[in-house]
Amino acid sequence: MIYVDNAATTKLDSNAFEKMKPFLLEDYGNASQPYSFSRNARKALKEARRTIANCINAEEEEIYFTSGGTESNNWVIKCFGADEADKMIITTPIEHHSILNACKKLHKIKYVNINNSGEVNENSLISLLTSYETNKNLYNNSLDCLVSIMYANNEIGTLQNIKRLVQLTHEKGALFHTDAVQAVGHIKIDVKELNVDMLSASAHKFNGPKGIGFLYIKKGTSLSQLIAGGSQENGMRAGTQNISAIVGMAVALKENCENIDANSKHITEVENAFIDKITENKIDFIRNGSINHLPGNVNISIRNSDGEMMLHRLDLMGICVSTGSACDNVNNQVSHVIKAISVPSDYAEGTIRISFGKENTVEDAIFIADSIMKIMQG
């Protein structure tokens, strides 16, 4: 089997798995209990928080453990700003559904324009922020605004210039959140340099376990609690912490961050081999996304083809790819991202996403390109 759907999820790092085991079988104490049996769990929780903070240049107390990217994103969208203030959100039409669907029910929502590569149009952001400033005065300052723009798109891999977008946002007094679920562990992230107010991450996208993630919240940022209950996570996110998963996440993130340059170089070589081979095979395709993209994310639209059919035919050949977002698997239509970047109609339905990971090889890439050619030849 050749697994090339690493944007959907990744294989658990074996070292992370080994470090998780004792917290399931031996040191299973509740980290909130003061007795000595829970000491190892408490210590592991603290160390994991420190490790994760170091990986993104945050402070320990700015890391809040959650059940993953979906929860982190929902938390931000539903709980930002002062309780009594009215809320406005500026986002892109190509966010993950955990942002888009959370936004729908709650707020005055504005979508920033993007170009056909999926990059945010800065002038469009400035004009939306200017209208926020004007409205804020009408609301006697009781209008809070959040800009939520993903770091790397999960379908087409486009990277945004987050540092610049944060600067524009802060100039108008709004908050900035980035869904960095696809980026953390794959490209270098320094929250101080970016100056983001909040950042979401998910362990299973960087070889950690599923069902665990974190939200970075810059000290002093106004965000209320999403999940009420006990006083875990500094009273901000109730619920007994999943120590083994948290430990696994920290080990996996450290491992990935220490090898980020080598992994990225290798994955880019594999990606280039694939593109060279399908070009050589004379497949009529468009590559979606930007030149500035997540290493390994290859989203192509093949003319007069059917992405769904391609996925199943490749599956029969032992290759796992995706047609777009893993969360869209009940929906066979052209994805919201492919629509938003205006892929021509004779190509759009033939879209597949191949997301190479550190375990893939150049041979895998060539085999996949040849398999696509065989399917196209019927």
Does 103 qualify as catalytic in the annotation?
A: no
Nearer of residues 283 and 338 to ligand PLP, judged by Cβ = 338
Q: Assign residue 273 a region: left if phi > 0, alpha if psi is -120 to 50, beta otherwise?
A: alpha
Would you state the structure tokens that stand for residue 177, as one six-digit string? 């959140």
Nearer of residues 223 and 369 to ligand PLP, judged by Cβ = 223
Quickly tell me which residue has 């959100």 as its tokens. 89
Cα separation of 66 and 58, whole Å?
17
Q: How far is the CB of 342 from ligand PLP (least distance, A)?
A: 21
One character per residue 244-283, x = contact with ligand PLP (rule: CB under 6 A) = ----------------------------------------
> Concatenated DSSP letters for 328-378?
GTT--SPPHHHHHTT--HHHHTTEEEEE--TT--HHHHHHHHHHHHHHHT-
Q: How far is the CB of 153 from ligand PLP (least distance, A)?
A: 7
Site for ligand PLP in 203-242 (CB under 6 A): 213
First to last CA, the chain: 22
Nearer of residues 38 and 153 to ligand PLP, judged by Cβ = 153
Site for ligand PLP in 128-157 (CB under 6 A): 150, 154
Nearer of residues 278 and 357 to ligand PLP, judged by Cβ = 357
Segment contacting ligand PLP by CB under 6 A, of 14-22, 176-184, 231-239, 363-371 = 176-184
Q: How far is the CB of 298 from ligand PLP (least distance, A)?
A: 16
The residue ranges of DSSP E strands in the chain, in sequence order, are 2-3, 63-66, 86-91, 108-111, 143-148, 175-179, 198-202, 213-217, 285-288, 297-302, 319-320, 351-355
Q: How far is the CB of 185 from ligand PLP (least distance, A)?
A: 13
Q: CB-based contacts of 26: which residues, under 8 Å, 6+ apart?
A: none
The reply to whether 70 sits near ligand PLP by the rule CB under 6 A is yes
Q: How far is the CB of 217 from ligand PLP (least distance, A)?
A: 17
Alpha carbon 333 to its chain's center: 22
Site for ligand PLP in 95-114 (CB under 6 A): 96, 98
The reply to whether 286 sits near ligand PLP by the rule CB under 6 A is no
The reply to whether 182 sits near ligand PLP by the rule CB under 6 A is yes
Residue 142 in contact with residue 323, Cβ under 8 Å? no
Residue 237 phi, psi dihedral angles, 5° rounding = -150, 100
The reply to whether 66 sits near ligand PLP by the rule CB under 6 A is no
Q: How far is the CB of 97 from ligand PLP (least distance, A)?
A: 8
Segment contacting ligand PLP by CB under 6 A, of 67-75, 166-174, 222-230, 248-256 = 67-75
- Within a 10 A sphere around the Cβ of 327, how many other Cβ atoms? 15
Site for ligand PLP, rule CB under 6 A: 68-70, 73, 96, 98, 150, 154, 179, 181-182, 202, 213, 326-327
Which residues carry out catalysis? Answer: 327
